[in-house]
Amino acid sequence: VAQMSLGRSGELIYKGEKEEDVQAWLLRPAGFSEEEEAESQGAGKEGTKKRYPLAVIYHGGPQGSTMDDWHYRWNLQYYASMGFAVLAPNFHGSTGFGHQFCRDISENWEIGGLDTIAGVRAAIAAHPWIDESRVVGLGASYGGYTSNWLNGNAPVGMFKALVCHCGTFDLRSSYFATEELFFMETEFGGPAYTSKSRSAESDYQKYTPSKKIHEWQTPTLVIHGAKDYRLVESEGISTFTALQRQNVPSEMLYLPSENHHCLNPQNSMVWHETVLGWIQRWTTTSTKEEGNE
């Protein structure tokens, strides 16, 4: 670690979907000095000499948070050390900002994605050194759900590429396969087999990413572990199939020995190399759309 270059860390406070303050971590790319940032802020977007790609990392849970910590899974500094600015929003539903803020996401799962979109817009507006044409989104579990949800709901072109790790494809199919029934019944107002759940106004219907798969356009890397019983492997395979059949550039990393997380150190190295390769592929200035794999 002593030999690594790390990015300067900071915060971004912005107005989310409910017009309430949302906190996000904003890391500068490694090697981007305070003097260079001040020069960029003074010059504005047109006068900035070098602009950086932005990796947006949204946490799982959704009742969780991205904290000031250090871990080999979803380490923000990994992406900063590879030349990315990093935005990690603690959207409505995150812990640490009061009980009501945390509960705001229950029966309203789109608010995490909407707060994320607002955070991307705020970061770009405030920092001319961020290149709005090179934004990628990454997440696992609820974060993987968010990647799939963004693919059909974010403004077209906002995200150059996405990474979906152990994410949700369809909320109803997830309900019937998960080992965590109590959680889904709490979050979505009951079981997925009732007349209420079949209504167009049901959370199962309104907020499922599969509702808008016909609008998916963003290149996506799908990752799933075979031993994931929280969101079973068919959710990842379904996501990949939907992308492939619509000729959306996509790849799938299948991990036979992993569960909902990537825990094996060797597998983690493969995971990080694959993810980094994917987001670099879509954020280099010479990147052109490529076929499916």
- The secondary element (H helix, E strand) that includes residue 220 is strand 220-225
Of 131, 197, 228, 250, catalytic: 228
- Residue 141 bears catalytic tag: yes
Alpha carbon distance 208, 148 (integer Å)? 9
116 vs 112: CA distance, rounded Å: 6
User: Among this protein's residues, is 165 annotated catalytic?
Assistant: no
For 228-238, letters b (16+ CB in 10 Å) and e give bebbbbbbbeb
178 by DSSP, 3-state: which?
A: coil
Q: Give 109's DSSP letter.
A: T
Tokens encoding 146: 């968010």
| Angle at alpha carbon of residue 119, lines to 46 and 290, rounded to 5° | 70
Burial of 179 (0-12, 13-18, 19+ CB in 10 A): exposed
- Pairing mode, strands 52-58 and 85-90: parallel
AA letter at 74: W
Contact yes or no for 89/139 (Cβ under 8 A): no
Q: Does residue 203 carry a catalytic annotation?
A: no
Catalytic residue among 141, 174, 197, 238: 141
Q: Are 163 and 221 in contact (CB under 8 A)?
A: yes
CA distance 72 to 52: 24
For 214, which DSSP code?
A: G
Count of residues making up the chain = 293
Catalytic residue IDs? 141, 228, 260
